[in-house]
Structures are given as structure tokens and as C-alpha cells.
Amino acid sequence: MHFLQDIPRFVFLTGKGGVGKTSLACALALKLADEGKRTLLVSTDPASNIGQVFSQLIGNNITPINGVDRLDALEIDPEAAASNYRERMLAPLRGSLPEDELRSTTEQLSGACTTEIAAFDEFTALLVDEKLQRDYCHIVFDTAPTGHTIRLLQLPGAWSGFLEDGRGDASCLGPLAGLEQQRERYRHAVQALSDPQQTRLVLVARADNASLREVARTRHELQETGISGQHLVVNGLMPEKEAKDDDLAAAIRQREQAALAALPAGLDGLQLDQVELKAANMLGAGNLRSLLAASGAINQIHAGAFEKATTGLPAINGLIDDIAAAGHGLVMLMGKGGVGKTTMAAAIAVELASLGMPVHLTTTDPAAHIEETVAQLPGNMKMSRIDPHAETANYRQRVLATKGKGLDSDALAMLEEDLRSPCTEEVAVFQAFARVIREAGRSFVVMDTAPTGHTLLLLDATGAYHREVTRQMGGSGMQVTTPMMQLQDPGRTRILIVTLAETTPVLEAEALQADLRRAGIEPAAWIVNRSLAAADTQSPLLRRRAAAELAEIDRVAQFSGGRFAIVPLQAEDPVGSERLARLVHGTQAATIG
């Protein structure tokens, strides 16, 4: 494979959620270690799962991988990084600042902006730390889904430019205090990212139009950032032999080959590597080593492998009927990247609209393709997206038109520098989020969210706003409803966790549910999407994968308290109102075996 040749020191794997970045990153790191090269595997995803892949705790410290020589791993934990960052900033101030000023500074360091800066600070250290350069031949980065990764890779230049040109008088002055000391390090990080002799970016996609469009957009945006050493890997392709005698496998392969034949502009100049779908989930060193090896024979299915029937599992149309009975409200779909949140959000929105309800379908995911998924809108349905770039531009204009009105030239220049801080985006996106969910008091708002880690950062900003409003209101007796209070009210908000019937997505969904519960938010139900156990297939590979799903479906039933629905894998790509309607009304689980 082309992307495995002459590998430089730094390798980043990025792409739309669910394309297999983590599996490929772990397999690549394992391959390098097996070749005798000391390797560090790093996750920059706030919802990292490389620990789950190797069945061990990793966390925010460099940890040896059990049973694998020369391979260590690190999961950059945004919350742990933020805690360490806050302590570094606050420790010198204790005993020297009045208590009220110390509290104010602590509050400045408690938001999502600090979390992002702290994680970014650790990330850049990996690119320039001299000891790491001596200790490791290669550092392989398993990144967050595309939108978050683009922002991460742009941040060294963004913060470097802000610190070079700005006056340091920003709304996130507390977080910036630590960055001010790191100018030279960020300059070296930008140089490393821009040098193809040091850095390789592997764009990972599935063979579907949305995934390929996403990596084409990513390639363009990162080229503008200066990252040019790019390769393309299409993962999880249906083997030709599986499509010969099975209608579902044949339909999947036909769809994949059509997508590859029509690569978006900008990708045709890249060398294309293809990785076939494997029967086993990519857990453990043995399965990971098979991922980048030549395809082997599919093991025969043992008799009785499908003894457990999947009839009687709840279908998604019943779940939508329950939602519709409320007449209005916020429906938020959350989960790991690539589990099909956009499709599920679109299907629910279209079905509610078909029942005569006014519906607003929106997304907080920069990489979502809701327009293509729905295609033609019903008359009583509208669609929007919370686009970080557009929201930030609008926010800056509003602030300049209000706070900037009447300022002298020096004060206006300071305000403009303040608004050029990358932290401004966090504030702008939160305000747009709060504005959209207010509509749920009179209609249905169905929200497709960004992958788990990014969504939790948004909820962190929501919680910080709630705490600040509560503090300011004090004992005034005034009644106020914050966005967090709406999310915590099951009468106003339905949180639906979307997952696949696979080990890693289910574990991440369980962790997401725990995070939500700590914030006082109780999920309404789970959706198991693209289930092979609920589909009709005779392919040995797909039947083997279906057998592995049954235990995961049992776990979903347990974690969700029996509140879940299952959606079979579709032979047709569920795009357009008609196919979305068929997905909703044709989801009765089938018996396998």
C-alpha cells in the first residue's frame, strides 16, 4: 500500500466519523512496532477508544501496550488536560490575589475554551518535544472526526498569529495567559505540520459519496493550512466474492464501486489504497495485524451461530410515534461519529413532518450532509445548520455593531483583536445552539449533533453558561430557563443515543450516557442503526459479523433499560424522503438462521 511506504515521523489519520480511523491508526502503529521501530500512538479525539481496542486503560499518560514491544499509547483527555492547565495558571496566583479576583480568574478558566486550548497545548508539545523525538521513531495520531481535526490542525497557526498580532486583551484572557509563553513552540509545530518529510496526513474514507466528499473538502482545507503530504485510504470495502450469491452484499458492493468510479474533484490526484471489510471486529493485536495484511479466507459459520432470533425487537416507527404525541419539543441525536446520526435525524424529521407536524431539522456537525440526505423537503419542514465559520462571522459583526459603537479607534482595535481569538468560535456556536433550541417550545426541532467528543464540549459550554446565569441571578427571585435546564427536562427534550451493534460504539454510547447523566440529562432511548442481525443476508462474512452483534444488542437492551429501537442495514443508500420513509416503516427485525 502506498501510504505505508517511506513513513515519516508524524502520521495523522483523519476523516468522517465511523470510517475506521482508529482501527487503521492502531494497525499502522502495531505494524511499525513489529518492524522494530519504537512508536507512540496518540488519540486527539475527546471520545478516544484506543484503550478499548487494546483492552487496557491508557488515559492521559504515555502507557506501554500490553504484549506489544516498542509500542506505547496516549489518549489526550481534554478534561484532564484542562485541569492540569488550570492548576499551572492558578498555582502562582494563590496567596497573592484577593479571593474575589481568584474566583473570577478560576471562572475564566472553567469553560470550553480552556478545554480546547489545554488539549491543543498537549498536542503541539508532541510535535516539538525533544525527548519524544529521541525516544520514538514515529508518532501516529488517531484524530477526532474531520471538523474537530481541521480545527485542531489549524490552531497552531491561528494561535500563533493571534499572539503575534494581538494585544492579549481577550475575552478568554485567563486561558491565553499560558499560551503567551509558548510562541516559539507553536512556530515549530506549524513548521513540522507543513513539512511532508516530517508529516503525512492519511485521509480515511468509506466508499460512499458523503464520506468521499468529506475527505475532498478536508484535503482542500488542510492544503490551505499548509499540510500537503496527503494520502487516501478507502476502508471497509465489500470483497467481490461475498457479492456473488447474496443480494445485500451485492447491493453494497455495487454502491461502493459506483462511488469509487465517481471520485470527487481533488481526490483523483491522490494514490488510492483500498482495505477490504474483515469478518472480525478490530479488537486486539491479532485482528489488527490482519487489517493491513492480504485478505484471507472467511471462516465457516458454525451451525447454531444464529440460534437466537431477533424478532420482536422494537422498531423505530414506534419510537417516533411516542415523540409525535408530545406535539413539539427538541429531539437531539447523539453518538460516535459514523453511526448514522444524520440519517436517523433526517428520517425522524421527515416522518414527523409527514404526520403534519412543523419541523426544523438542524445540525451542529460541520461535516454533516443533511441537505443531501433529505433531498426534497416536505412543505412543513425547514432545514439549517449551525456552521462555525458563519456563526463566528455573524457574532463578530453583532459585537462590533453593539459594543463597538462609539468606541475610539484604540478601543475599537482592541475589541477587534479580542474577536479574532479562536475562542470566539466557542461563544458564537453556543449562542446559535441556544437560539435554535428555543424554537422547540412551539414546534419540533430535530438536531443532528457532532460526534460525541465535540458535542460534549458544546454541552460543557452550555453548563458553564447555566452556572454563570444562576450565580448572577442569586437571590433575585427572577425566573429564568437556561438551555441546560431545557436539556434536563424530559418533557421538553428527547435525547436519542445512536450506536451500531459493535463493541466500540456501544462502549462509547454507554460512556456518553454516563456523561449526560452526570449533567442531569437522561437519554430517552437508544437506536441501533445498520444492524446486520436484523437484516436478511447469506454472505458468510456478513453472517459472521451479524452473529457478533447479538451480544451487543443484549448490552444495548440492558444499558437503555429496554428503551431502544433497531434499524436493519439497508440495501439502498437511505437518501431522499422516500427511502427515509421506507427505513422508518420497513424496520421490523428479521429472524436469522
- Burial zone of 410 (CB within 10 Å; 0-12 exposed, 13-18 middle, 19+ buried): exposed
Q: Which of 14, 23, 143, 499 is catalytic?
A: 23
Residues 12, 201 contacting (CB under 8 angstroms): yes
From 17, 18, 337, 453, the catalytic residue:
18
Q: Cell numbers at residue 103, please?
A: 474566583
- Burial of 533 by CB count in 10 Å (0-12 exposed, 13-18 middle, 19+ buried)? buried
d(CA 257, CA 260): 5
Residue 45 catalytic? Answer: yes
The question of whether 135 is a catalytic residue gets the answer: no
Q: Which residue in this structure is represented by grid cell 438551555? A: 483
Q: What is the CA radius of gyration of the chain?
A: 24
Residues 6+ apart with CB under 8 A from 351: 317, 320, 580, 581, 584
The answer to whether residue 341 is catalytic is no
Sign of the torsion formed by the C-alpha atoms of 150, 156, 159 and 165: negative
Active site residue 20: yes
Catalytic residue (one of 452, 493, 504, 531): 504
Q: What are phi and psi of 445, to 5 degrees?
A: -115, 115
Please confirm, yes or no, whether 363 is among the known catalytic residues: no
CB 469 within 8 A of CB 482: yes
Q: Number of helices (H) and strands (E), helices first, in the chain?
A: 23, 15
**10 Å Cβ neighbour count for 474?**
8
Active-site hit among 16, 21, 31, 341: 21
Report d(CA 568, CA 533) in Å as an integer.
7
What residues are labeled active site? 18, 20-23, 45, 504
